[in-house]
Amino acid sequence: MKRRDILVLESTAGSGAALANALGDVFPVWNVAAQDPAAAVSLLAAGRVEVVVPVAANQSAALLEWLRRHYPAITYVDVESVIPAGSGSDPIVRLAESVGRSLVLRECVGDPRLSVFASKLRRIPVVSSVYQEICNLLARSAVDGDGFNLQDVAELVGQDPGMAVKVLRMVNSAVFGLRHTVSNLPQAVALLGARRISSLVLGVSLSDQFSTAGAAGKAIEKEWQVAVMTAQLSRRIASHEGLSSDEAETAYLAGLLHNVGRLLLAANLQERYVAIEWPNTASEVLRMERTMLGAPHTDLGALLLDFWGVDSRVIEAAGFYTNPSEAASRGFSPVAAVHGAAVLLRRSGLGWDFDFMKDVGLSDRIGKWSQLDEVHHLMAVS
């Protein structure tokens, strides 16, 4: 990660300096300074600040509104939304990751040329209303702390009979390894959970929207198979790392969507896409996508996912799975899971980012992940 200029707004003497030092410890390359509001204005005017982090929630709302109005290009981090009261361990790391992620994703999707390119594409998939409603249900339950009714999720899926049939067909496929046939939606939701069902719904919706005939259709089908296998292995890696089922499902979703930019390119630029003799290294693939098609699939996918409003960690995985050293997440994260899965599945000649694995403390996982049974199984069926 490159140098960044972060400004912490003081509220009481010393509190901002402590936070600035802590953020600098997470990302030593950052230049983090703490200033009172009066001094901060001069720094902002000099154009040397990318992110403002207010220390106190009760810091002058009028001041922050003034800053946003006069310096709209600067990122303003709401500390309480990142580190709510009573949150778990490593709150400073979580805050630093959130700040870093907002910066790298802004660069990834903020290039006006990328937006212009994307606006010319004719086939842009949209998130299904069923998927959106399930996500809203999960978000409300997380805020209220009351959980959610699985029957409500089943009823949402049942609003689209065609999708319900496809979800049941997928649930009963060999992929999930269930020992008996699932014949109704409430049972499927109870067995797999709402988050996994939401991923299935999104996958079904996307596969329908991207479907096409001919050589381009075969290319899209191959990319979709890669996405599903990467998702399965990403989830397995996350489970191996001891993550909860919900966190593992986030890794699954990140794997499922990591190459959505490739699907966009294949669906919209069919003749040019199938005519390309693709190279066997990931860096060359990205270069050729940029020069021959107009944009690398990583940037294009991140732009689409940002438009959909999905979890920023999922966007980060799509944008940086080929070069995770440029991402902001520390330790194990969806981008680490997808990077590992893509390497192990020999995706486009992608090799390990050893610097990243060392920096986030995962160097010893390379051998362990490669020995997972799912790696050998997925390689055999690919």
**pLDDT one-digit tens code per residue, 326-339:** 999 988 999 999 99
User: What confidence tier does 191 reach under pLDDT thresholds 50, 70, 90?
Assistant: confident
Q: Is the pLDDT of residue 253 over 80?
A: yes
Report residue 25 as tokens.
């410890």
273 and 345 in a common domain: yes
* Cα 359 from Cα 327, distance rounded (Å): 12
228 and 193 in a common domain: no
Residue where one domain finishes, among candidates 172, 190, 210: 210
* Cα 29 from Cα 282, distance rounded (Å): 27
Residue where one domain finishes, among candidates 157, 175, 210: 210
**Residue 339 in contact with residue 321, Cβ under 8 Å?**
yes
Query: Is residue 354 a part of any domain in this protein?
Result: yes
311 and 167 in a common domain: no
244 and 146 in a common domain: no
195 and 49 in a common domain: no
Q: What share of the chain is helix, strand, coil (3-state, %, to 5)?
A: 65, 5, 30
Select the highest-mean-pLDDT range: 85-99, 295-309, 367-381. 295-309
* Cα 20 from Cα 22, distance rounded (Å): 5
218 and 359 in a common domain: yes
Query: Is residue 240 a part of any domain in this protein?
Result: yes
Q: Is the pLDDT of residue 146 over 80?
A: no
299 and 170 in a common domain: no
Domain span at residue 330 reads 212-382
Distances (CA, A) of 183 to 150, 156, 172, 196, 354: 16, 17, 9, 17, 46
132 and 75 in a common domain: no
246 and 381 in a common domain: yes
**Which residue did the predictor score with more confidence, 197 or 89?**
197
pLDDT of residue 83: 59
User: What phi, psi does 72 have (nearest 5°)?
Assistant: -65, -20
237 and 199 in a common domain: no
Torsion of CA 148, 235, 297, 310, to 10 degrees: 20
**Which residue did the predictor score with more confidence, 7 or 376?**
7
Report residue 86 as tokens.
């009573």
Query: Is residue 294 a part of any domain in this protein?
Result: yes
Query: Is residue 133 a part of any domain in this protein?
Result: yes
Kindly give the residue spans of alpha helices, DSSP state H, lying in 172-213: 185-192, 194-210
Query: Is residue 44 a part of any domain in this protein?
Result: yes
Amino acid at 350: L
- Given its phi and psi angles, is residue 298 left (phi above 0), alpha (psi -120 to 50 degrees) or beta? alpha
- State the total domains in the chain: 3
User: What phi, psi does 89 have (nearest 5°)?
Assistant: -75, 165
CATH number for the domain including 25? 3.40.50.2300
Query: Is residue 75 a part of any domain in this protein?
Result: yes
Q: Is the pLDDT of residue 171 over 70?
A: yes
Locus of tokens 């990122």: 75
**pLDDT one-digit tens code per residue, 285-323:** 999 999 999 999 999 999 999 999 888 999 999 999 999
83 and 23 in a common domain: yes
219 and 354 in a common domain: yes
pLDDT of residue 349: 83
